[in-house]
Chains A and B, each alone.
Chain A
């Protein structure tokens, strides 16, 4: 069983919006923190942001490169995290991964990723 499964990727025009989902299973989702990471084709990994759990009021933090454009949220009732992406640019084209913060700064579970292509 794959702990994290991303969905919602696809083709979007520059300036458009897209919302990715990350469905979790096999662990206590409500107690976990979740991160989003992306990787452009042939490039390295880029940390995008994290959402904490209810105990910490679902606090979110973002990389400067996406602050103000991307929003992370979660629905503990459906064990799903989300990445809302607005004002998309061609340079946002990448595979987007969700990953669990396993504690001690370990990103222990990774999804297989969702491809987002921003192009006209």
Chain B
């Protein structure tokens, strides 16, 4: 049973905008979960995009942004590019010095 939920797949047209979400099977995600987002292409190491809900990591293009939308953490890509086609994982702080990843979302740019 997946506690941290992400949609399995999403698609966006080049230049378009897409929002990926990260929720909980039970409850709402707030800033207290310190959501972070990671991008991973097959065979590569994860790359940190966003941390502490909405802070962009060093060197990450400003087309990537993080937020809380309703009861979920969200990663929005504005002006998607072909190289954004990747798997995206959210990570939530679950308290008591433990963390949990979501199952990941496969983003297709077409």
Contacts and interface: CB of A to CB of B under 8 A. Distances in A.
A45 interface: yes
Contacts of B101: 37, 44-47
A50 interface: yes
A120 interface: no
Contacts of A50: 97, 99
Report the contact-size class of chain B (Cβ under 8 Å from the partner): 20 to 34
Contacts of A45: 38, 40, 46, 89, 91, 101, 104
Interface residues of A, number: 23
B19 interface: no
A77 interface: no
B96 A97 contact: no
Query: A-side binding surface: helix, strand, loop or mixed?
Result: strand
Interface in A94-120: 97, 99, 102, 104-108, 110-113
Given A45-B91, A104-B34, A105-B52, 18 more contacts: A44-B87, A44-B89, A44-B102, A45-B40, A45-B46, A47-B99, A47-B100, A61-B96, A99-B46, A104-B51, A105-B34, A105-B51, A106-B52, A107-B36, A107-B38, A107-B51, A107-B91, A108-B57
